[in-house]
């Protein structure tokens, strides 16, 4: 049977109807023990990089907190730390901006690659804006990401932000995100902030956190977007790279179980190793198909 579609050297197909590039589109729930939990991310492997404007529009169209785009070819002059393990160039976009680090979309991208492209691999490597990241998969299906730690520094509590949260604030710190500590886990769970005020923050986002006393977790948190353009993120892996050093010091332990108490909710297992933080969780695939992007 004759086909009119044209293949690119990297495997993408040009749709003859509109001459767009056809690429896989997979949606995966990360930090999820079951479907419809954790944080959904879109994963879009590309044969080569497309213009940034196209990537941003695709992320906006997906309308998820993050879309992970990955390309097999590394930038000129870049070499993978471990040649024996598959390596990819990975970028993350919210519906509004490209970000420097994203945990759940990295885990989702790794889940796709382990299942569909590299079932025999023991480790995957990703070249990103935050340097080289790696992900391993255990025999029981858990994914562990090796990320850079980020130590928050104390800052003054802003009265307008405390008012927007509507609860007493114990302490304020800042790293990539602004971190407000509150009295207890139930305060975090019940929080109903003024999202318009938080959305105007001149930082990526805001973490509200407390010790998990009275729950089955060591730490609880929620994450609200500022410049990232996400009202509330269901589970934010990169936030736990900031929470890990903070709570390791306060709780006197390096291994912790954290819960992001959004409506969907998700569990993050933390192993703080100083300059690096290991984040472990599970993934569940929800959807797979194709997307058509301008060349």
- Give the catalytic positions in this structure: 66
Burial of 268 per CB tally in 10 Å (0-12, 13-18, 19+): buried
Q: Which residues of 88-113 are buried (b: 16+ CB within 10 A; e: fewer)?
A: bbbbbbbbebebebbbbbbbbbbbbb
Using DSSP, how many helices (H) and how many strands (E) does the chain show?
A: 6, 20
Two tokens, residue 146: 């090796």
In a 3-state reduction of DSSP, which class is residue 131? strand
Query: Which element (helix H / strand E) includes 240?
Result: helix 237-251
- CA dist 149 and 275 (Å) reads 5
- CA dist 109 and 42 (Å) reads 8
- CA dist 47 and 250 (Å) reads 46
The whole-angstrom distance between residue 199's C-alpha and the CA centroid of its chain comes to 19
- CA dist 166 and 189 (Å) reads 13
Query: Which residues lie below 8 Å from residue 78, measured CB to CB, with a gap of 6+?
Result: 89, 127
Query: Which residues lie below 8 Å from residue 59, measured CB to CB, with a gap of 6+?
Result: 42, 66, 67, 93, 94, 95
């Amino acid at each position: 049977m004759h086909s009119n579609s044209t293949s690119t050297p990297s495997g993408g197909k040009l749709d003859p109807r509109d001459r767009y590039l056809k690429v896989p589109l997979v949606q995966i729930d990360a930090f999820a023990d079951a479907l419809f939990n954790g944080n959904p991310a879109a994963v879009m492997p590309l044969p080569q990089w497309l213009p940034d404007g196209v990537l941003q529009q695709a992320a906006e169209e997906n309308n998820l907190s993050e879309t992970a785009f990955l390309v097999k070819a590394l930038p000129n002059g870049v070499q993978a730390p471990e040649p024996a393990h598959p390596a990819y160039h990975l970028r993350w976009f919210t519906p509004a901006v490209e970000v420097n680090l994203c945990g759940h979309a990295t885990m989702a991208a790794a889940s796709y690659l382990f299942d569909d492209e590299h079932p025999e691999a023991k480790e995957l490597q990703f070249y990103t804006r935050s340097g080289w990241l790696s992900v391993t998969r255990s025999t029981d299906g858990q994914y562990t990401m090796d990320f850079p730690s980020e130590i928050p520094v104390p800052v003054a509590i802003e009265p307008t932000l405390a008012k927007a949260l509507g609860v007493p604030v114990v302490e304020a710190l800042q790293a990539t995100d602004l971190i407000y500590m509150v009295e207890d886990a139930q305060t975090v769970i019940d929080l109903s902030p003024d999202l318009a005020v938080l959305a105007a923050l001149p930082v990526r986002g805001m973490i509200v956190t407390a010790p998990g006393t009275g729950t089955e977790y060591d730490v609880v948190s929620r994450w609200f977007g500022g410049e990232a353009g996400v009202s509330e993120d269901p589970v934010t892996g990169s936030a736990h790279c900031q929470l890990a050093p903070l709570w390791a010091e306060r709780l006197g332990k390096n291994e912790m179980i954290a819960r992001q108490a959004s409506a969907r909710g998700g569990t993050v297992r933390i192993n703080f190793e100083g300059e690096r933080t290991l984040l472990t969780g599970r993934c569940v695939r929800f959807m797979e198909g194709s997307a058509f992007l301008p060349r």
